[in-house]
Amino acid sequence: MLDFEYGVTPKILAVDDAELNLVVLQRIIGDGADLTCVDSGQAALDYLSKHTVDLVLLDINMPGMGGFEVLARMKSQPELKDIPVIILTAEVAPETEMEGFTAGAVDFVKKPFIPKVVLLRIKRVLEYEHLQKNLMYEVKRQTRLAEERLRTSERLFEETVIALARAIDAKDKYTSGHSQRVAGYSREIAKRAGKSEDEQKAIYYMGLLHDVGKIGIPLEIINKTSGLTDEEYKTIKTHTVIGSGILESIEQFPELLIGARSHHERYDGKGYPDGLMGNAIPEAARIIAVADAYDAMTSKRSYRSILSQATVRAEIERGRGRQFDPHFANIMMKMMDEDVEFRLRGTEAPTAEYWKNLIKGESSLMNQKKEKLMDIELGLQYSGGQEALFKELLKVFCKMKADKWPAMRKAYANGDWDSYETFANTMKSTSLTVGGRRLSEAAKKMESACKAYIAPAFGEGNKADSLKYIQDNHESLMKLCDDFIAEAEEWLNEEISKD
């Protein structure tokens, strides 16, 4: 169940044409939010015209008005444009994710849903929105609280600073733990540079809060996967000034603002915000600058993958005397040389090719040998281990044979390939949710064939090949779906007889 910690019940609108997906979301979120479910894009806009919500969970592929069109209409209306939207999708292509972020979505949740992942992503967005709406009040309250705790307990002060650092990192899904790592590297550099214990602690705190100003930067800019415009880059650069403005109110620890303001200054004077050069840059900021750059290069970011150890070392070497203080760059490189295992902290994002080998060598689904179609363990996994929920979702999926799949057959008969692709997408995600791995894989291939037929420039082969695949495998896919439902209904009846 969703556990929102701010004393209010968030209002969430879920939009998906598949009842099964809405049932899953209802069970996952539970009583932790005021959840309203609708099954079409138009119904979503109608609801939003009359009600206020804190978050929209929006499916991409729906009959009629798709998710991206709904999102575009929301962003065009002043009263709706600031509502955060999480995209629900069975798509894995990077192009889909990029299109969503470009359109203004704040996050993606992949189908089939993993309950814990859904809860964490919803909670993260809601918490961020809550903090953003009360930004200046919340930050000032936190800094005053930090100052008060500093007077009585350094331990409590550190806990507060760490909590604030985690809140900062939560804005960017690619930089989880960044502030704490930079703080740790900075402290180690300071130690090796001969700094006292108190100086090391001070630099550690500065490292934790060096990016505090990002609280004031819009989420869509921070998480943007494509290149920034000049205006967006100017906005990003303001986080140094915003951060120093936030931290200057902590009178008991005035040096905290040094790291926030000056960690993007360059040794050659070409940095920002003040264009300081050489030793005119505060020493702590020179230390944090090299630690920050090291972590940026050894962590996955929205715009690139993790760099190799050799590449990172070469970049730091190249930046000695230009971007970095030579002394602290040397210390960082020595630390790297000692770290022979070099454990990478990120993983590559999925880069599944859309339709690779879709047409070539594909045999009819009818030729596959008979085997169990329902993977109960997989279904339980997507139900969070709850057998009662798994059974409920199976019943919902079986009900689709009365409306959803006949509509898919009708779309095929009418040559309505846009709708047919949408139905295949729904079959792909919902069947996997209830343990239908084979059915899901077959539906995925059919969806890909439809994409290749509708937009051949992006597919494998030509329109004729794609259409032939659809025609050769349509009946096989529908029979596989019927067989899965029959097996599911038989299993459900057996379970009822046991009770």
Q: CA-CA distances (angstroms) from residue 130 to 74, 249, 418?
A: 20, 22, 38
Q: CA-CA distances (angstroms) from residue 466 to 412, 414, 455, 461, 463?
A: 14, 17, 10, 7, 5
Residue 7 has pLDDT above 90, yes or no: no
Q: How many CA atoms lie within 13 A of 283 on its CB side?
A: 11
* C-alpha to C-alpha distance for 159 and 412, rounded to whole angstroms: 60
Confidence of residue 369 (pLDDT cuts 50, 70, 90): very low
Predicted pLDDT of residue 159: 67
Residue 89 has pLDDT above 90, yes or no: no
| Residue 54 or 343, more confident | 54
Predicted pLDDT of residue 223: 75
The number of beta carbons lying within 10 Å of the beta carbon of residue 412 is 21
* C-alpha to C-alpha distance for 387 and 404, rounded to whole angstroms: 25
Single out the residue of 398, 380, 387, 391 nearest to residue 492, CA to CA.
391
* C-alpha to C-alpha distance for 63 and 244, rounded to whole angstroms: 49
Specify the residue for token string 């969503």. 100
Name 138's Cβ contacts closer than 8 Å, sequence gap at least 6: 131
Predicted pLDDT of residue 172: 60
Residues 35 and 60 sit within 8 Å (Cβ to Cβ) = no
For the segment 3-27, the average pLDDT, to the nearest whole number, is: 86
Residue 229 has pLDDT above 80, yes or no: yes
Predicted pLDDT of residue 359: 31
Please give the structure tokens belonging to residue 60. 């991409």
Predicted pLDDT of residue 349: 29
- The two beta strands, 11-15 and 34-38, are parallel
Residues 332 and 291 sit within 8 Å (Cβ to Cβ) = yes
Confidence of residue 417 (pLDDT cuts 50, 70, 90): very high
| Residue 280 or 225, more confident | 280
Looking at beta carbons, which pairs linking 458-464 to residues 24 or more positions away fall under 8 Å? Answer: 458/354, 458/355, 459/354, 459/355, 459/358, 460/354, 460/355, 460/356, 460/357, 460/358, 460/359, 460/360, 461/355, 461/358, 461/359, 461/360
Cα-Cα-Cα-Cα torsion 387, 391, 392, 395, nearest 10 degrees, comes to 170
Domain segments of the chain as ranges: 11-129, 134-338, 365-498
Predicted pLDDT of residue 336: 86
* Range name among 5-19, 134-148, 258-272, 435-449 with the lowest pLDDT average: 134-148
* C-alpha to C-alpha distance for 139 and 327, rounded to whole angstroms: 35
Residue 53 has pLDDT above 60, yes or no: yes
Predicted pLDDT of residue 158: 67
Assigned superfamily of 11-129: Response regulator (3.40.50.2300)
Residues 329 and 320 sit within 8 Å (Cβ to Cβ) = yes
* C-alpha to C-alpha distance for 108 and 233, rounded to whole angstroms: 24
CATH, range 365-498: 1.20.120
Q: Which stretch of DSSP H or E encloses residue 89?
A: strand 85-89
* CB contact burial 71-105 (16+ within 10 A = b; e otherwise): bebbbeeeebeebbbbbbbbbebeebbebbbebbb
pLDDT in tens, 193-204: 999 988 998 999
pTM of the model: 0.50
Percent of the chain predicted with pLDDT > 90: 48
Angle (CA) 183 119 423, round 5°: 125
Q: What residues pair up with 379 in beta bridges, in sequence order?
A: none
For the chain, the average pLDDT equals: 83
Q: Which stretch of DSSP H or E encloses residue 467?
A: helix 463-498
Single out the residue of 480, 384, 471, 370 nearest to residue 428, CA to CA.
480
Confidence of residue 348 (pLDDT cuts 50, 70, 90): very low
Residues 432 and 424 sit within 8 Å (Cβ to Cβ) = no
| Residue 269 or 124, more confident | 269
For the segment 352-372, the average pLDDT, to the nearest whole number, is: 38
Single out the residue of 252, 207, 175 nearest to residue 167, CA to CA.
175
Please give the structure tokens belonging to residue 464. 């004729």
* C-alpha to C-alpha distance for 50 and 292, rounded to whole angstroms: 46
Confidence of residue 173 (pLDDT cuts 50, 70, 90): low
Residues 444 and 459 sit within 8 Å (Cβ to Cβ) = no
* C-alpha to C-alpha distance for 135 and 216, rounded to whole angstroms: 8
Residue 352 has pLDDT above 50, yes or no: no
Residue 316 has pLDDT above 90, yes or no: yes
Predicted pLDDT of residue 134: 67
Predicted pLDDT of residue 368: 38
Looking at beta carbons, which pairs linking 250-256 to residues 24 or more positions away fall under 8 Å? Answer: 250/143, 250/146, 250/147, 250/150, 251/147, 252/147, 252/150, 252/151, 253/147, 253/150, 253/202, 253/205, 255/202, 255/206, 255/284, 256/205, 256/206, 256/209
Highest mean pLDDT among 86-95, 96-105, 242-251, 465-474: 465-474
Confidence of residue 116 (pLDDT cuts 50, 70, 90): confident
Residue 477 has pLDDT above 60, yes or no: yes
For the segment 405-427, the average pLDDT, to the nearest whole number, is: 93
Residues 90 and 428 sit within 8 Å (Cβ to Cβ) = yes
Residue 76 has pLDDT above 70, yes or no: yes
The architecture that CATH gives domain 134-338 is Orthogonal Bundle (1.10)
Rg (CA), the chain: 26
**Three-state helix/strand/coil letters over 45-62:** HHHHCCCCCCEEEEECCC
For the segment 33-41, the average pLDDT, to the nearest whole number, is: 94
Residue 284 has pLDDT above 90, yes or no: yes
| Residue 350 or 54, more confident | 54
Highest mean pLDDT among 138-152, 204-218, 221-235, 352-366: 204-218
pLDDT in tens, 431-443: 999 999 999 999 9
Confidence of residue 272 (pLDDT cuts 50, 70, 90): very high
Highest mean pLDDT among 349-358, 382-391, 404-413: 404-413
Q: CA-CA distances (angstroms) from residue 451 to 112, 365, 412, 444?
A: 20, 19, 14, 11
For the segment 77-99, the average pLDDT, to the nearest whole number, is: 85
Confidence of residue 370 (pLDDT cuts 50, 70, 90): very low
Single out the residue of 212, 222, 296 nearest to residue 259, CA to CA.
212
Highest mean pLDDT among 135-149, 397-411, 456-470: 397-411
Confidence of residue 460 (pLDDT cuts 50, 70, 90): very low
Residue 162 has pLDDT above 80, yes or no: no
Burial label for 437, CB within 10 Å (0-12, 13-18, 19+), is: middle
